[in-house]
Structure 1
């Protein structure tokens, strides 16, 4: 009998007494030679499957097509099998065997592939199964090809009873045919389109690129080309718009919307396709999250740090194209996007020492760094790998790389360096990591007390290729030491619970051809990493962690996490906001007034400490790239290796460290959420912000001159616009070495905490 590929496939447990003769015909057929039962008797087959039926860690099923048996499937726990003890195995692994019955007539093209898909679907139907493990005979090239086509990665040859096998593993996110585009439906896309167009209208209006006209009853109209969009909206302080996505008419298409607006937005024609690609990727991400990441706020109120991190759905609150990730395929998205929540293991390379820069914090040594980051035995295994290649381990430094970066860049673009053994691939590291919202930074979930790892990643995301420069990072540990020491010695900052997570080590390879060229390029930023302290060991009893981005999070039903936290806390909304501002705003104001020290304090760069759902402190991170001392050496002396962070700016630009980065970049969104939810009126919220600034001034009369120069209570401040930067140049928004000169202004904004003009 031959089987039609369109017929239904079902499964039934093997009954050894009933099925022994059928299975005997299958396993002794010449086509089943690799099943290793060619000489078995019927009784031997019956005993084999009776043993499997009695084994709680091994199962066998007959697969039926249109009611007729067509294949045999076995699943087993690889940790209790001949594979037990192999270092590649992890919790959540499921072993699998499949045997398609020999056809009784003409073979049906594609039938084996369809059966294989049904088998994999059954394996992954159990949510506890994270990976499927197979071990085909190395000579069985046909089934090995099927495995690879389905998403299996061939790991290595292994010796198991009766054969040399090719150990192969398929992670859930790598399975080809796993409903990979089930999020791309008209219904979900419409929701994603409406959300993104609502955000585009709100942020472009905020940046005065468009001007919606009121039509009455809370509705507005916006002419875009030949189309007039109407919608409901409300406005708040700082010209902040809240647009109702469901009210937008006609049904919007965000790419058409932006293409029609391109002349107004100022997007260069040659860069418009790149921006539209980032918009499409942001749409796809939003649709995926609507399908797979519908985590209700109620489940996040008491969630742990990494559960909250993975549940964030918005990305940067101001940028419209904020989930670009150009370079990632769909399988990469599911493997490495923070919202996918998948565990990731860093790949490691050995980089020739004389061609590599390693810089360390003052209290770090190379030996201590690697002893902490590599579990016992891993470093020895890496050194043995080098010795086995005839190389001296002392000639190399160990460098972690993103798995995507290894496969797509190092092994291709830097093939000569690998072939010369200037770079040597060492394989996966031992720890599971979770990607953070910044996409290229990873939290060690196997050992949370260990450092974050930040890796170079050559994808285009939100206006930059996300590389890391070895030259630029060389001073990073020294900069972090100085900032951390300054913060730690300050009694005011300690009383606010404000601390710094230092970047304690930075490493980068510079032996490639691109470093020998005169002109700089993104290719010089492809092979580098840094290590940042974890906040976990510094938590006090009863404290929990959350990314500050969570304060702006609404779930798919529109419920705000900050509202839920305030309601779950033992204090009223005003007290909660005061506590938050003391942990966040007051330290930033103090750093400006006392040291002319400015951070980049957006949601992803702050980790809040919470007690009883109330913020009680904060960890500032991402110091090396995003900190500045905005004064002269006579006021704030710096060590020579830290001088890079010094810059001189006009007072009104210096004040943007609070006006733009804090008030416009974070607090305007938070104020609107609390007002919209009826938790705290906007006027009262901004009154608390002013109270925080004035109270700091009252407590520190010795800083009155600096406070006057910043004048955070001035009636208006310059309106610095983020989307305009990305729209001007979608490939590189700003020059990181001179960010102030890259700013684009659109007049001034009324200061919601300002003195009357």
Structure 2
């Protein structure tokens, strides 16, 4: 049923709306009742564009009767506060007037409006009447039928291009001109501005109700995000010893052996911060966001808590280079905006809360029995958890920068939005493109697995249609943002000469992961992840991928996987790597021929990484390790929920997690000189009944290092880092103890699940068990790694980003670019 036909079946009730002008109603026109009124309006010069001034009352009555008898048209009388004020016609534009000139869409509804001529006496005229009438009519057309409207998807109008008043009023109501057309109307042909208005067009227009394009940027949401980030800044920057908060008078920190809760003060130049915090091992601060106050001057006038102002006030201590301060503040501002948006999504129920996440990760008995549907549930729970993460990196303050994303880009591509995207595929000329394949994989095998037969056939046909030979090209997936913002501009010459040929979007839908440029296949979860270049600035880096750097990626992954799979201890732990099976990169652009390396060389490359879904069993669930540090909008921690849902003691739960995470990492280091980047998003945990049982390590090609002189395959030498035993130990101290476990220890202690003393005692027990089970590793020549040493060097992450917000470390030599702030007491020291 069309909107017009539906309206005809419900002529009884009038549509009504009330605004500043008064109450406006629409009702079906009655030829006998309304002909004389309409005749008087049509005879007025202001109605000249209707071209009906020649009709008498009988003629108007006959005209209205004709409209009423036509199934494709309707006539409506409009009243203001009960008085006849305007006349409206609605029609099916596919059948009336616009047939052949308008490509009508389902739900299109044509509309004509005639407002009663203004009174001769200017004093009697009502200011804003036409605006009010126009707004009411469009609202009626677009309103759903259940609300008394006509339920149109779009309103269509075709005013004469010479009718400037109508054109202006249409524009004010949100109508978009599609094009000019010739319209035959009653023996007269007019040049018309064919225009349409959808609900979103009207809502955003001056006559519409208005829209909020950024509803997350509201004072309450922003204030919460400011406080959250200010608390993190105070805690993490104090942890890195950029300043030292002092006890605030008598309300100082707790005595040794207490929970460490106290009131602290940080006095800066003219501004003072006070807050309540708990302190833990590794100089870990948990600051209560609601407790923070900011005051100015001797009078201590209270100021709003503003994390951007906090960083500006701390600049003498932070010493961000003058030419990079604005970049850092922009990344921090984007992080603030993302925090407000995440908060809004949680409060509105758009993202799941911790009880929902925990329920999905701890399947019930009935779910465990349904093996047929379990793979789908594994993937769905995994990706729901991935999208629910709100913190980003637990240590970095400005961790959601994403400079280059617009608001629409954020909504489409930010991991926390959980939206699905389709990759855009390019054909890259083979002579300028390198495809690296892992062990046992062929080019045909890769593309046959990742692209359906229909896609491969379509791509070949599209190349052939341009007189290009498909055999001369390799297929390269790119992020839709990269295609829109980089390919047609930065690589315009390459596209124009057919070295890069856009083939269109692929069929599979992907979901962005926390690393933002890595995408998980939601259509076929058993297929590979795809990691693509994304030329946005985020957390100290332009998120590109180097074709040259990735040539060796599959080779390195195969070697690392061979080491891991060949070790019986690691097999017993269930520790595996998600192998990066293939990489592809284009180097035919002019940027690869410049004398100096540049970021533009990292904009056209991709790699394929194995999915963990096929390597799990019914009843198992997958979750990013970052989820163990997640708190929802009500402050509930997922780690706490999992401990309580597991049915086992907190120490037993922790030991199971450490056996899957810490134990194999220690073994890789001591037995094989292998070091990974084991932070939250680089580990995928496998849980059963809420307990971590094993783990997958990912991001091997860019992050793995061999810290010794062991033999490497030809082409893999770049992963070697010759370091001493102290730095070898920092792989565990910095990346695991300080980077992950101190945060988890704080969460479990604050929640009353497990005291930090017992937490670190379990960590020590796991280390001792590994040493007892592998006494030969302690006696290896030249390997004096002592993970229970009294102290270790305090590596600082934020200091790196503050020093250089554009490239905080040299990926080819990360060790030499680290920054330290003395040493930390080892919480598992003997």
**Do they superpose with TM above 0.5?**
yes
Partner SS state of residue 427, structure 2: strand
Contact 1:62 1:73 in 2 (8 A): no
Please report how far the alpha carbon of residue 99 of structure 1 lies from its aligned counterpart in structure 2 after TM superposition.
Answer: 3.4
1:277 aligns with 2:334: no
Q: CA deviation at 1:592?
A: 0.4
Deviations along 1:500-558, whole A, 9 cap, x unmatched?
A: 11111111111111011010000101111111111111111210111110000001111
1:676 counterpart residue number: 750
Out of 417, 435, 438, the residue aligned to residue 494 of structure 2 is 417
1:476 to 545, 548, 553: 553
Shift of 1:225: 2.0
1:191 aligned residue (224, 228, 245): 224
Give 1:597-608 correspondences, 5 Å limit: 597-608=674-685
CA distance in 1, matches of 2:142, 2:718: 55
**Is the deviation greater in 622-631 or in 391-400?**
391-400
Q: Which SS does the other structure have where 1:443 is aligned?
A: strand
Does structure 2 conserve the Cα–Cα contact (< 8 Å) formed by 1:5 and 1:111?
no
Residue 116 of structure 1, CA deviation: 11
CA shift at 1:45, angstroms?
7.3
The partner residue of 2:524 within 442, 447, 453 is 447
1:748 and 2:826 matched: no
Closer, same or farther: CA 114–699 of 1 in aligned 2, 3 Å: farther
Contact 2:108 2:153 in 1 (8 A): no
**Residue 321 (structure 2) pairs with residue 268 (structure 1):** yes
- 2:44 alignment counterpart: none
Q: SS state of the match for residue 364, structure 1?
A: coil
Q: Distance in 2 between matches of 1:436 and 1:511?
A: 29
Rounded Cα–Cα distance in structure 2 between residues aligned with 1:112 and 1:361:
68
CA distance 1:384–1:285, shift in 2 (3 Å): same
Deviation digits for residues 410-462 of structure 1, max 9, x if unmatched? 11111111111111111111111111111111111111111111111111000
1:104-123 Cα offsets, whole Å, 9 max, x none, are 46999999997899699979
Structure 2 unmatched runs, 5+: 1-15, 40-47, 51-62, 93-104, 119-127, 179-193, 252-261, 295-303, 361-380
Cα distance in 2 between the residues matched to 1:65 and 1:535: 65
Q: 2:281 matched to which residue of 1?
A: 237
2:236 maps to what in 1?
A: 203
Equivalent-residue separation in structure 1 for 2:21 and 2:437 (angstroms): 61
CA distance in 1, matches of 2:90, 2:237: 56
Q: Report the TM-score, using the length of structure 1 for normalisation.
A: 0.82
Which of 324, 347, 364 aligns to 2:441? It is 364
Shift of 1:293: 2.9
Query: Which stretch shifts more, 95-104 or 283-292?
Result: 95-104
* TM-aligned CA distance change 1:4 to 1:475, over 3 Å: same
Give the 5 Å matches for 1:304-453.
304-453=381-530
Q: CA deviation at 1:70?
A: 8.8
**Secondary structure in structure 2 of the residue aligned to 1:709:** coil
**Is residue 629 of structure 2 the alignment partner of residue 596 of structure 1?**
no
The equivalent of 2:706 in structure 1 is 629
Q: Distance in 2 between matches of 1:611 and 1:586?
A: 19
Number of equivalenced pairs: 690
**1:301 aligned residue:** 358
The answer to whether residue 721 in structure 2 is matched with residue 647 in structure 1 is yes
Q: 1:253 aligns with which of 295, 298, 306?
A: 306
| Residues 170/442 of structure 1: CA separation in 2 closer, same or farther (3 Å cut) | farther
Q: Equivalent residue for 1:159?
A: none
Post-superposition Cα deviations, 1:545-598, rounded to whole Å, max 9, x if no partner, equal: 111100000011111111011111121111100100011000100100110000
CA contact (8 A) 1:224 1:257 kept: no
Mapped to 2, the partners of 1:575 and 1:47 lie a distance apart of 74
* Secondary structure of 1:610 counterpart: strand
Match of 1:624, SS state, is: helix
**Shift >4 Å, 4+ stretches:** 3-18, 39-50, 61-75, 105-123, 132-143, 149-152, 165-172, 174-178
Distance 1:120 1:421, change over 3 A: farther
Moved more, 223-232 or 39-48: 39-48
Counterparts of 1:172-191 in structure 2, within 5 Å, are 179-191=212-224
Cα distance, 1:200–1:299 mapped onto 2, change above 3 Å:
same
The Cα of 1:71 is off from its aligned counterpart by 8.1
Cα deviation 1:693-735 (Å, max 9, x = unaligned): 1101111122122596211111100000000000000000000
The 3 A distance-change label for structure 1 pair 687 and 411 is same
Instruction: Tell me the CA shift for residue 42 of structure 1.
Output: 5.3
SS at match of 1:300: helix
- Aligned-partner Cα distance in 2 for 1:278–1:628: 29
Alpha-carbon distance change, 11 to 437 in structure 1, aligned in 2, over 3 angstroms: farther
199-208 vs 345-354, which moves further = 345-354
CA RMSD of aligned residues (A): 4.2
Secondary structure, aligned partner of 1:554 = coil
Contact 2:519 2:531 in 1 (8 A): yes
Asked whether the 8 Å contact 1:444–1:451 carries over to 2, the reply is: yes
Larger CA deviation: 214-223 vs 178-187: 178-187
Q: State how far apart, in whole Å, the 1-side matches of 2:502 and 2:137 are.
A: 32
User: CA 1:4 to 1:299, structure 2 compared with 1: closer, same or farther past 3 Å?
Assistant: closer
Cα 1:9–1:419 change in 2 (3 A) is: farther
Q: Distance in 2 between matches of 1:748 and 1:151?
A: 65
Separation in 1, partners of 2:523, 2:469: 30
Question: Retained in 1: the 8 A contact 2:24–2:80?
Answer: no
SS in 1 for 2:779: helix
Conserved 8 A contact 1:606-1:620? yes
Q: What's the TM-score, normalizing by structure 2?
A: 0.75
- What displacement does 1:97 show? 2.5
- Asked if structure 2 preserves the Cα contact closer than 8 Å seen for 1:600 and 1:627, the reply is yes
Q: 1:119 to 1:736 in 2, by over 3 A?
A: farther
1:638, 1:63 → 2: CA distance? 83
Q: Is the 8 A contact 2:24 2:133 kept in 1?
A: no
Matches within 5 A, 1:508-519: 508-519=585-596
Cα gap change, 1:443/1:169 in structure 2, threshold over 3 Å: closer, same or farther?
A: farther
Offset of residue 187 of structure 1: 1.3
Bigger drift between 605-614 and 39-48 goes to 39-48
CA distance in 2, matches of 1:345, 1:113: 40
After superposition, what is the alpha-carbon deviation per residue over 1:68-123, rounded to whole angstroms, capped at 9, x for unaligned? 99989999xxxxxxxxxxxxxxxxxx964243433446999999997899699979
Q: Which runs of 5+ in 1 are unaligned?
A: 32-38, 51-60, 76-93, 127-131, 155-164
- The residue aligned with 1:88 is none
* Mapped partners of 2:393, 2:604: distance in 1: 26
Q: 2:654 matched to 1:577?
A: yes
Aligned partners of 2:90 and 2:112 also within 8 Å: no
Partner of 1:212: 245
Change (3 A) 1:366 1:219: same
- 1:101 matched to 2:112: yes
Cα distance in 2 between the residues matched to 1:355 and 1:64: 70
Q: Distance in 1 between matches of 2:773 and 2:289?
A: 45
| Deviations 1:379-427, CA, capped at 9 Å, x for gaps | 1111111111111111111111111111111111111111111111111
Q: Do the aligned partners of residues 563 and 118 (structure 1) sit closer, same or farther apart at CA in structure 2, a change above 3 Å counting? A: farther
CA distance in 2, matches of 1:139, 1:357: 57
Q: Residues 723 and 390 from structure 1, CA distance in 2 versus in 1: closer, same or farther, beyond 3 angstroms?
A: same
Which of 605, 614, 623 pairs up with 1:546?
Answer: 623
**Counterparts in 2 of 1:410 and 1:572: CA distance versus 1, 3 Å:** same
